Amino acid sequence: MRAEGRMSFGVEEEYLLVDPASREVRPYGAQVAALAAERLGKEQVGDEITRFQVEARTSPHTRLADLADDINAMRGAVADAARRQRLAVVSSGAPVLGELRPLPLTRGPRYADSLAVFRALDDEQCAAACHVHVGIADRATALEVSNRLRPWLPVLVSLTVNSPYWSGRWTGYASWRTLSWARWPVAGPPPYFDSVAHFEELVGHLHATGAVMDPSGLYWDVRPSSHLPTLEIRVADAQMTAGETVLYAALVRALALTELRAAHAGEPVLNPAPEVLRAAYWRAARDGLRGHGLDVHTHRLEPAPVLADRLYAHVRPALEDNGDDAWARAAWARLRARGTGAERQRAAHCGEGRLEDTVDALVACFRDVA
């Protein structure tokens, strides 16, 4: 999946539907997805595990501008479809308002089987994420890049936190989705894989135990796609604006390219212990870019913005080679100046203490490109 010498990439986004009056989530995902498919096509939009959600997918692209256009069109189509149902759509990692228990699960044999196996994990699961696919068709190469991405995953969490609220309460975390998702038996940072055989053996064992129903149930934050010639990076909350999704996708592609080059050059691989990665995830999910994060190289706490700037410096040569650096620098400056989605959700709430204001802010900026 390469063209013009650039690694291809695409995005999957999960959105939440809300009532414009009550601002609570509403279970009309299938209806909104069907209406959006009239414009986007059935391959680009569909339902998700709960009926509060809609999932939309871009085509693969090699130019950042084309991906941005696709994301803008995708969000526009879903927002217009929601409006036809007298609803609004938001991009947040978790529902701000609404009764979530029991969840209105999407009908169908797959979700019924999942509920039978995972029980209350499904019944309490309502989270929205942003997934980036990068074009790496060879399984061995994809796993090599996965290994090299692992140390950077907590920093990506801190940059993309956008779920401080859950069903009417402040959780104290910048990304409650990250903590909620970690309860699944196969989730969070992936293992370090010695080989393709190691990966396949481990997946086989997990399938045999029932911890995953099929390859698509591997919920690691980096995984080779089960149906596309890509490596899928799944660490981020759904991003508040279209522009932030584009920035995140640009950073992920640049990071994948950087690590692919490191692999080809035979550079050593940092393999942090799972316990260290777990602790780093927790700090990143709790504080985002506020406070300190755990440097998995040194095992010391450092200011989270320092770790973020270190990531940007690491990937900047790849951004330049992709032709993305000028746009990414401007978007990076905006993110650093106005804060993450979690910070802006909190700011909207803390003015007068109304969570309805947070939902209104999410609705208002859903289609923002900057």
Outline where DSSP puts E strands in 273-342: 292-295, 300-303
164 cis-preceded (ω within 30 degrees of 0):
no
What is each CA distance from 162 to 55, 236, 245, 361, in whole angstroms?
Answer: 17, 9, 12, 13
The span from the CA of 277 to the CA of 270, in Å, is: 12
**CATH number of the domain at 2-365, out of 1.25.40.10, 3.40.50.300, 3.30.590.20, 3.40.50.1820?**
3.30.590.20
Q: Which residues contact 230 (CB under 8 A, 6 or more apart)?
A: 1, 10, 60, 133, 134, 135, 136, 137, 142, 224
**Percentage of the chain surpassing pLDDT 70?**
98
Peptide bond into 224 cis (omega under 30): no
Mean pLDDT of all residues in 132-140: 96
> According to the model, what pLDDT value does residue 200 have?
95
**213/130: higher pLDDT:** 130
4: pLDDT strictly greater than 50: no
For residue 64, pLDDT beyond 60: yes
Task: Note the pLDDT of residue 227.
Answer: 84
pLDDT in tens, 28-46: 999 999 999 999 999 999 9
Q: Check residue 5 and give its pLDDT.
A: 66
Question: Pick from 79, 67, 131: which is nearest to 364 by CA?
Answer: 79
Residue % of the chain over a pLDDT of 90: 82
pLDDT number for residue 101: 77
Rg (CA), the chain: 19
CA angle 63, 40, 251 (to 5 degrees): 30
pLDDT band at 332 (very low <50, low <70, confident <90, very high): very high
Rounded to whole angstroms, the maximal C-alpha distance in the chain is 57
57: β partners: 12
Residue ranges of domains in the chain: 2-365
Q: Band of the pLDDT at 3, cuts 50, 70, 90?
A: very low
Could you tell me how many helices (H) and strands (E) the chain has, helices first? 14, 15
Burial class (CB in 10 A: 0-12, 13-18, 19+), 265: exposed
pLDDT digits (tens, 9 = 90+) for 114-123: 777 777 777 7
* Per-residue confidence (pLDDT) for residue 102, from 0 to 100: 76
Residue 283 reports pLDDT greater than 80: yes
- Run of H or E residues at 247: helix 242-264
pTM of the predicted model, to two decimals? 0.95
In this predicted model, what pLDDT tens digit does every residue of 174-207 receive, in sequence order? 999 999 998 888 899 999 999 999 999 999 999 9
Roughly how many angstroms between the first and final C-alpha of the chain, as a whole number?
A: 28
| Amino acid in the structure at residue 244 | E
Are 67 and 327 a contacting pair, CB within 8 Å?
Answer: no
Report which residue type is found at 181: W
